[in-house]
Structure 1
Amino acid sequence: MKTLIAAALASATLVLSSGIALAQDKTIRMGFFPGPYADQFERGIRPILEEKGFAVESIEFSNAIQPNTALIDGDLDANVFQNDGWMNQFNEQYKGDLVAYLHIPSAPLGLYSNKVTSVEGIEEGMSIAVPNDPTNLGRALAFLQELDLITVKEGVEPTRATENDIADNPKNLEIVPLDAPQIMRAMADVDVAAALGNHVISSGNLLSQSFSLEKPALQYQITVVGRDANANSEWAEALVEAYKSDAFRAFVESDPKTIGFSTPDHWQ
């Protein structure tokens, strides 16, 4: 009898363990910054994944390093907040193995101002706030160069360019590097703000308030990021399929909050 009870308990434990493992396999743990990409996921992606039988956990971070370290440590399965340039810089600095699973609709960098309404209205000596992190500082400078406001030295890697790499500044513009999330709050202190779209939206403003929006290069588009070892897992494939789905595209194209977003190549 004791032998039969022990066997039954062992069998029950095995079934319970298998059930727990299955539940864990069906749970996707996602990391975000508070803002449009977390909102997009909650309203446009979570329903698709839950319909496929996945449980979803969302965690929001306030520090730009934490979502990636949590991913490497195994506390997250994927995150959505960064572009290729930021991810590559993180991998290089922290010996990471993160890869981009898919580029998604992205809020572009743009120029905002309480004082001017066009690029032509930017006058001699005006100040322009730009993000101070290496990836987005170079991105902002490249955008200002596209608008013929400055010229960056030849041969400088775009993701590594700083204000010291400006070769020509015909209007003697004052370039003011600031923490990216603070730029929209500094609008009263500068003439123009070169602000990242997600921070614009998080501050309660709209992309349509910009008088000039970039068309972000592939390296600046927001990506779904995970570890290389998990790229072909069932949950990763389901996550990518959800972002590529017609249902999500219809959601984005009908959402007033995404007016002005760039669209990924797979939607062309």
Structure 2
Amino acid sequence: MKLKKIVTGIVTLGAVITLAACGGENKKAAQKSSDSATKEVVVGVAPGPYGDMVTDVISPLVEKDGFKLTTKLFNDYVQPNKALDAKQIDANLFQHTAYLEKFSADNNLDLTAIGTVPTLGMGIYSKKLKNLAAIKEGVTVAIASDASNLARTLQLLSANNLVTIKGDVDETKATVDDIDKNPKNLKFKTLDAAQLARSIDTVDLALVPGNFAWAAKLDPADALALEKLKEEYKNVFVVRTADKDTKLAKAIQAALVSQDFKDAIAKSDFKDFDKPADWQ
């Protein structure tokens, strides 16, 4: 009887030791799994191609650094920056540098661009006219209401000899009031940039930023004219300034200047977009 108790005790002690060892191993395995887990990063985007660029092209390049990029869609140009500032998202990709700088200054936001991506430029689109030569006097032209896109609009019209801008005006800040000559007597209808693609059915011409043109499935080949983007009008990946030196920011920065990114873009639907200057 005594021997039986001793044997039972030894078996019980062995079981406890085994369970403790298993528990320790499981804890280590769980910790290792947690350490190697991919962190999900939410990137704010507007309608257009950049959501797909984030998930299909950029995200695979930063997976080795432990990040998976997902997107949150906003239907205007206002909320993605405010959501980023409020820490509701981790980054955004929808805007160019000129807009970022003005919006941040106007709204007292501390945001920083960490890299530039290939960008689809603004186009002049029409369902009524086949080319710019067909523009008659007094046609209605839909243009963006926000300052930076309005300035781009006027530059595109000027580049195609439809208006001229007063010589003493900074063309990057030009408004309709800064038009010097309007030989076709164009009638301007200002709209939120997100509404411009839809306006094509009701106006003669619409100047549509690239991301909204893409979202509306407008073919750039059908545009009566496309802008040649200046560097400040190419889209940038943005984070809070306080986060610009984080592991995430550094991983994205490295990805955006990598040959792998260039090669992936060359094989994607974004291959014809204007490239960042440092790609030359």
TM range (shorter): 0.7 to 0.9
Q: Which runs of 5+ in 2 are unaligned?
A: 1-26
Answer whether contact 1:35 1:198 (CA < 8 A) is retained. yes
The answer to whether structure 1 residue 94 and structure 2 residue 112 are counterparts is no
Q: Give 1:148-187 correspondences, 5 Å limit.
A: 148-187=161-200
- The amino acid across from 1:141 in the alignment is L
- The amino acid across from 2:273 in the alignment is F
1:21 and 1:153 map into 2 onto residues whose CA distance is: 60
DSSP-derived class of the 2:129 partner: coil
Aligned-pair CA distance for 1:97:
1.2
Aligned-pair CA distance for 1:19:
8.7
Aligned-pair CA distance for 1:184:
1.7
Aligned-pair CA distance for 1:27:
4.1
Pick one of 43, 48, 56 that aligns with 2:69.
Answer: 56
- The amino acid across from 1:179 in the alignment is D
Aligned to 1:208: 221
Aligned-pair CA distance for 1:168:
0.6
The answer to whether structure 1 residue 34 and structure 2 residue 56 are counterparts is no
1:258 and 1:206 map into 2 onto residues whose CA distance is: 13
Aligned length: 254
1:96 and 1:17 map into 2 onto residues whose CA distance is: 38
Pick one of 231, 238, 246 that aligns with 2:259.
Answer: 246
The answer to whether structure 1 residue 119 and structure 2 residue 132 are counterparts is yes
Pick one of 208, 218, 221 that aligns with 2:231.
Answer: 218
Aligned-pair CA distance for 1:76:
2.3
Answer whether contact 2:62 2:68 (CA < 8 A) is retained. yes
The answer to whether structure 1 residue 103 and structure 2 residue 116 are counterparts is yes
1:152 and 1:161 map into 2 onto residues whose CA distance is: 8
1:71 and 1:192 map into 2 onto residues whose CA distance is: 34
2:86 and 2:31 map into 1 onto residues whose CA distance is: 23
Aligned to 2:273: 261
- The amino acid across from 2:263 in the alignment is A
1:260 and 1:117 map into 2 onto residues whose CA distance is: 23
CA 140–75 in structure 1, closer or farther in 2 if over 3 Å, else same: same
CA 156–19 in structure 1, closer or farther in 2 if over 3 Å, else same: farther
- The amino acid across from 1:263 in the alignment is K
- Share of identical aligned residues, percent? 33
DSSP-derived class of the 1:183 partner: helix
Aligned to 2:85: 72
1:208 and 1:56 map into 2 onto residues whose CA distance is: 31
Answer whether contact 1:107 1:198 (CA < 8 A) is retained. yes
Answer whether contact 2:113 2:237 (CA < 8 A) is retained. yes
Aligned-pair CA distance for 1:258:
2.4
Aligned to 1:47: 60
Q: Which runs of 5+ in 1 are unaligned?
A: 1-12
